[in-house]
Amino acid sequence: MTGPFRCAVLALALFSMLVADADGQTGTGPASVLQAVRARGQLRCGVSTGLPGFSTRTEAGRWVGFDVAYCRALAAAVLGDAERVEFVPGLIQQGLTALVAAEIDVLSRNATITLRRVAEMGLHPIGVYYFDGQGFLLRASAGVRALHQLDGRSICYQSGTTAEDNLKEIFGARRIAFTAVAAASFRAMIDTFIGGGCDAITADASTLAVIQITALPRPDDFVILRQHISKEPFGPLVRDGDDRWQEIARWTLMALIEAEELGVSSVNVEAMTASENPRIQRLLGVIPGLGEALGLDRDWARRIVAQVGNYEEIFQANLGMRGPLKLDRGLNELWTRGGLLFAFPLR
């Protein structure tokens, strides 16, 4: 490379560095998601059309639920206010398509993280916030208590989910005969089952708990099999290609989990700023550095906990003992208590 040409290249590189904005995007390139969210003053979050415990609207029109709380935490981190969220409801495929089309900034709903969704659609999972598995719900009077006893039965599932592929793959391998009954929507699946159009429903176990408790006339007349036929990791999805936004979304989730592990809650967060534990000091911005690395201020995680709570508070209020489903933590317990949940080191 000749001297003048090398100088020209270095000059161009230096110019690119100088015009790069604070969010890591060049001045002539497309705005980052963080820039767009801040310019709009609102986070656009894709959620389900309505799944009690996860994302539903109250009679007053307020969105509540486990998935909703994550979006509020992200808004608290980047906008300073957990209420600055526009919730965009849709079916799973609608939500995925909206995310690809940049109609939403993040998708937070019971959409299983799969290789195909990530690789083919250009999406990026930022972590798992709920570990689930596909199960079966049916009438107790059917006498079915194990998977093999479903042989010859008709099974309802919601089209557009991973349920159909799992059902055909596992039942085919185990030589369990069944009749598949596809339903276009969550409500249609339930109505078909109640009307006798199928013997069982297959869906994520958490969804089956919602159906049993909130949609069936006499919940005790139905059972959910203990056996699962798949792993269904749920977690927020963002578009690929914006590393800064991916990391902000990821570390928002990690902050929720880390806060629970450290015993920092919405009740004691301000008092905990006086803690001498360096992990707590880093989380709450007493020791600076984490926020700056993400392009946020030093109080980003403190706001998350103060305005939304830690992971345990969110789980119990929506899915656990204080919520409609009364679900056990199970696999979603902290790793220190035998579960699968842990945060990457915040350091």
Give 176-214 pLDDT, tens digit per residue.
Answer: 999 999 999 889 999 999 999 999 999 999 999 999 999
Both tokens of 297, joined, read 């201020």
**Encoded amino acid at 278, one letter:** P
Residues 126 and 241 in one domain: yes
Residue 1 lies in a domain: no
Residue 25 lies in a domain: no
Residue 10 lies in a domain: no
Which CATH number goes with the domain that contains 223?
Answer: 3.40.190.10
pLDDT score for 160: 82
- The Cβ of residue 328 has, within 10 Å, a number of other Cβ atoms equal to 11
Judge contact between 156 and 181, C-beta under 8 A: yes
Both tokens of 264, joined, read 């920092």
Residue 55 lies in a domain: yes
Which of 211, 230, 249 is the last residue before a domain boundary? Answer: 230
Residues 292 and 160 in one domain: no
Residues 249 and 108 in one domain: yes
Residue 342 lies in a domain: no
Judge contact between 224 and 207, C-beta under 8 A: no
Both tokens of 84, joined, read 């600055």
Residues 314 and 266 in one domain: yes
Judge contact between 214 and 52, C-beta under 8 A: yes
pLDDT digits (tens, 9 = 90+) for 294-309: 999 999 999 999 999 9
Residues 292 and 333 in one domain: yes
Which of 199, 215, 230 is the last residue before a domain boundary? Answer: 230
Kindly provide the residue ranges of all beta strands, DSSP E only, lying in 130-275, ordered along the sequence.
130-132, 134-139, 153-158, 178-183, 200-204, 222-224, 232-234, 237-239
Residue 194, judged by CB atoms within 10 A of its CB (0-12, 13-18, 19+), counts as middle
Residue 111 lies in a domain: yes
Kindly provide the residue ranges of all beta strands, DSSP E only, lying in the chain, ordered along the sequence.
43-47, 56-57, 63-64, 85-89, 106-107, 123-125, 130-132, 134-139, 153-158, 178-183, 200-204, 222-224, 232-234, 237-239
Which segments in the chain show pLDDT lower than 50? 1-29
Residue 21 lies in a domain: no
Residues 282 and 243 in one domain: yes
Domain encompassing residue 54: 33-131+234-337
In degrees and rounded to multiples of 5, residue 263 shows phi and psi of: 75, 25
pLDDT score for 141: 97
Residues 127 and 251 in one domain: yes
Smallest CA-to-CA distance from 127 within 74, 189, 187 is with: 74
What are 46's strand-pairing partners? 88, 107
Residues 262 and 324 in one domain: yes
Which of 165, 197, 230 is the last residue before a domain boundary? Answer: 230
Domain count, the chain: 2
Residue 89 lies in a domain: yes
Residues 332 and 244 in one domain: yes
- For the chain, how are helix, strand and coil distributed in percent, rounded to 5? 45, 15, 40
Please report, for residues 115, 228, 246, the alpha-carbon distance to residue 26 in angstroms, rounded to integers and kept in the order given.
30, 48, 18
Residues 67 and 125 in one domain: yes
